[in-house]
Amino acid sequence: MDCPTCGKTLSTERGMRQHYTKVHGEPLPNRTCRGCGLEFYDPKARREFCEDCNPNAGEHNGNWSDAMETTSCERCGEAFDYYPSNKDGKYCSSCVDAADGLLPENPATKGDRVAVHCRSCDTELEVRPARLEEQTRGFFCTLECYGTWLSETVVGPAHHQWKGGPIPYGQRWWRIRRQALEHDDYECQHCGADADELGQNPDVHHRQPVRSFDQPDAAHTMDNVITLCRSCHRRVEEGTIVVSPRDER
């Protein structure tokens, strides 16, 4: 196989291509255009059309320069070009860059933040004014505070429907979860990592899965839950580690 430029003979096509690229500074064509039959080079050897025939290039592309349309800026009145494939033109780029508040604001982000208090622990929080109307139950600084409020305020003697009956499913889980965390000092009962090390409260794991109970709320008991970090919790669920019950520890 002879080099088409210098005439050097090589034994394989691959060797010829390497020689041509190294010696002559450009690769040999490896594709034939389906449109015009021209040979061209494609690094990935996938393209079926050359640049002139590419159906997604040039005048075939919606963002081709000659496909731009002209309109007048609704703010300054100056004419400007835009691509209709992007969006309808309303403002020229100069007005967009210079204007303050030209684009409409999201109502949920308007206004300065206002101070509110967590309904469980009274920690001061800052929220957008729009959330004051959206949140009917009040605000809570953490999921644990929300669970505490549910178990101590929404249910129990303070609740308007309280008749000394059982705690509804859901609220029972929040109460047991909080009790488990407090009992285990917010520490993983397998590796010992605490909330400060984890940057968040550990998980509370059901030793016997909730789905195995005829009555789901029967799973929410202290002897069936244990505190684990997220990593150990996942490993227990996968069966790669086993955690002993509290009374065996």
Q: Is 224 helix (H, G, I), strand (E, B) or coil?
A: helix
Residue pair 188/232 in contact (Cβ under 8 Å)? The answer is: yes
pLDDT in tens, 116-140: 888 777 778 887 777 776 677 778 7
User: What's the mean pLDDT when you consider all of the chain?
Assistant: 76
Q: What is the pLDDT of residues 171-198, one digit of tens each?
A: 678 888 889 999 999 999 999 999 888 8
Q: What is the dihedral of CA 152, 158, 160, 163, to 10 degrees?
A: 90
Q: Where are the domains of the chain?
A: 13-49, 70-95, 114-155, 171-238
List, in order, residues 6 or more apart from 68 with CB less than 8 Å away: 81, 82, 83
For residues 154-183, give the mean pLDDT: 64
Element holding 69 (H helix, E strand):
strand 69-72
pLDDT tens digits, 31-85 = 898 888 888 888 888 888 887 777 666 555 555 555 677 888 877 788 877 766 5
Rg (CA), the chain: 34
pLDDT-based confidence at residue 143 (cuts at 50, 70, 90) = confident
CA atoms of 79 and 18, how far apart (whole Å): 53
